[in-house]
Amino acid sequence: MKMRNATTLPCFLLLVCLLAGGACDAFAGGAPQVKEARFWTAPDHTRAVLDLSGAVEYRAFSLHSPERVVVDIKGARLRASLDGFEKNDPVLKDVRYGRPKAGTLRLVMDVREKVRIRSFLLKPMQGKPYRLVIDLLRAEDEEKVVARASDKASRPIVIAVDAGHGGEDPGASGPHRIREKDITLAVAKRFAAEINRTPGMRAVLTRKGDYYLGLKKRVRIARKAKADLMISVHADAVKQRNVSGASVYTLSEKGASDRVAALLAKKENSSDAVGGVMPGEIEDPLVKSILADLIKRDSLNSAELLAQQILKHIGRVGPVKYHAPKHARFVVLTAAEIPSVLVELDYISNPKRERLLRSAKHQNRLASALLAASRTFLKQQGRLPPTQVGRDAPQRRSSLNRKSSEHPPT
């Protein structure tokens, strides 16, 4: 009877481990496991992210005829599905796996064209495990996704609209699991559509889909587009469910205006580590030389005026948490020659505000408020395009509700 109990217990534990997805290292020989695989499609690359049970040794390389990317992970076991990529992905065609030799897990990514590989291992942080990131970079230059501005004398006013977070970095989450990255992208797209419907103005979206974009790359896109303004869209969250209201932040030259601004800047600046930027690529926004070499010293003052207008106009749509702009060292605002602001639309942690933030109608109102604030600021600066000078801000409804009679005859 004792012999039977001795053999039944290990079998029972093994069964529990198998039902738990093979999470027990005792029966896997302590081998690191690939627990989940996620794929993100960006305009210039496709990203694969592998969640790991621990640190690994790996090697990534290309093979040709046909084109494919191989990732060998030493001693690893696969516990994840590899079919989560978009079937119409412009780069990735298929993902396979095998064991070319004992003790090596091989992942093979069949690709549609030659790619450049960028890979790195991220350490655990903010509840995320070890992650192996493999970027398949397209041959075309990363900045080709940005439309070039026409001749400065005749070009329209360009507003860079930055949807915060994305991909591996969901940002804050609401009580009903609405993710900040989805709200920011929805509002950013609506805001960009409002801008593009305004004569003499053009929008450049830094992020157009659900993928992560490094903070400094967002800045580079705005600069490449020769943006006149940059507005980064976010949604805040705190533990208290009853807190609500919008707030606006600008870049600080001397440090955060208060503890709230400092904590928010620390959280937003950590997005690169969460979203996945190769170690060493993150630039320190606190270096004084960044602010010492400003092309336009008055851009910080201009950003302050823009922030005031946003608070004024967004206050007509919903509550405002802080009625004066706050300041901190946000990496995404370091294109200091461009008046740049970070807007927290509301608190996604508040159930009532979360429901509003996911409402298309409320998103349209927020987008219209951001446009009205931008136009008022440009008018104050004497920078409205000729087609807009002397005109009041156009009263627009959502494109879903526009009547055919509103369109000019063709």
pLDDT digits (tens, 9 = 90+) for 69-96: 999 999 999 999 998 888 889 999 999 9
User: Is 289's pLDDT higher than 90?
Assistant: no
User: Do 270 and 167 share a domain, yes or no?
Assistant: yes
Residue 173 lies in a domain: yes
User: Do 238 and 376 share a domain, yes or no?
Assistant: yes
Mean pLDDT of 353-358: 96
DSSP state of 232: E
Residue 23 lies in a domain: no
Residue 300 lies in a domain: yes
Domain end marker among 88, 112, 140? 140
Q: What's the first-to-final CA gap in the chain, in angstroms? A: 91
Interacting residues of 90 by C-beta distance below 8 A, sequence separation 6+: 41, 46, 112, 138
User: Is 247's pLDDT higher than 90?
Assistant: yes
Higher pLDDT, 234 or 382: 234
Domain end marker among 105, 140, 175? 140
Of the pLDDT bands very low, low, confident and very high (cuts 50, 70, 90), residue 341 is very high
Instruction: Give me the residues paired with residue 248 across strands.
Output: 343
* pLDDT of amino acid 128: 87
Mean pLDDT of 246-270: 77
What are the tokens at 257? 């205006």
User: Do 99 and 155 share a domain, yes or no?
Assistant: no
Nearest CA among 129, 165, 122, 88 for reference residue 342: 165
Query: What long-range pairs does 367-372 form, CB within 8 A, spacing at least 24?
Result: 367/187, 367/190, 367/191, 367/193, 367/194, 368/194, 368/396, 369/310, 369/313, 369/314, 369/316, 369/317, 370/191, 370/194, 370/231, 370/310, 370/313, 370/314, 370/343, 371/191, 371/194, 371/195, 371/198, 372/313
* pLDDT of amino acid 278: 62
Q: Would you list the DSSP string of 25-40?
A: GGGTTT--EEEEEEEE
Q: Decide: 132 and 119 in contact? Cβ < 8 Å.
A: yes
User: Do 201 and 340 share a domain, yes or no?
Assistant: yes
Q: Which pLDDT tens digit goes with each residue over 89-138?
A: 999 999 999 999 999 999 999 999 999 998 888 888 878 899 999 999 98
* pLDDT of amino acid 50: 95
User: Is 60's pLDDT higher than 60?
Assistant: yes
C-alpha atoms less than 13 angstroms from C-alpha of 400 in its C-beta half-sphere: 5
What DSSP element (H or E) covers 236?
strand 229-236
Instruction: Give me the residues paired with residue 135 across strands.
Output: 47, 118
Distance CA 50, CA 371 (A): 40
Question: Can you give the residue range of the structural domain that contains 183?
Answer: 143-380
Mean pLDDT of 305-328: 94
User: Do 237 and 99 share a domain, yes or no?
Assistant: no
User: Do 97 and 84 share a domain, yes or no?
Assistant: yes
The enclosing domain of 360 has a CATH number of 3.40.630.40
Domain end marker among 116, 140, 164? 140
The enclosing domain of 93 has a CATH number of 2.60.40.3500
Residue 7 lies in a domain: no
* pLDDT of amino acid 147: 43
User: Do 208 and 95 share a domain, yes or no?
Assistant: no
* pLDDT of amino acid 35: 95
Total structural domains within the chain: 2
Residue 14 lies in a domain: no
Residue 166 lies in a domain: yes
Higher pLDDT, 166 or 277: 166
Percentage of the chain modeled with pLDDT above 70: 75
Residue 399 lies in a domain: no
User: Do 37 and 57 share a domain, yes or no?
Assistant: yes
Q: Decide: 173 and 180 in contact? Cβ < 8 Å.
A: yes
User: Do 129 and 154 share a domain, yes or no?
Assistant: no
User: Do 65 and 196 share a domain, yes or no?
Assistant: no
User: Do 199 and 135 share a domain, yes or no?
Assistant: no
Residue located via tokens 């790991």: 52
Of the pLDDT bands very low, low, confident and very high (cuts 50, 70, 90), residue 389 is low
User: Do 333 and 348 share a domain, yes or no?
Assistant: yes
* pLDDT of amino acid 250: 92
Q: Which pLDDT tens digit goes with each residue over 175-205?
A: 999 999 999 999 999 999 999 999 999 999 9
* pLDDT of amino acid 146: 45
Mean pLDDT of 295-313: 83
Mean pLDDT of 235-263: 85
What stretches of 20-104 show up as alpha helix (H) in DSSP?
Answer: none
* pLDDT of amino acid 257: 65
What are the tokens at 88? 């119409």
Higher pLDDT, 83 or 21: 83
Residue 183 lies in a domain: yes
Q: Decide: 49 and 168 in contact? Cβ < 8 Å.
A: yes
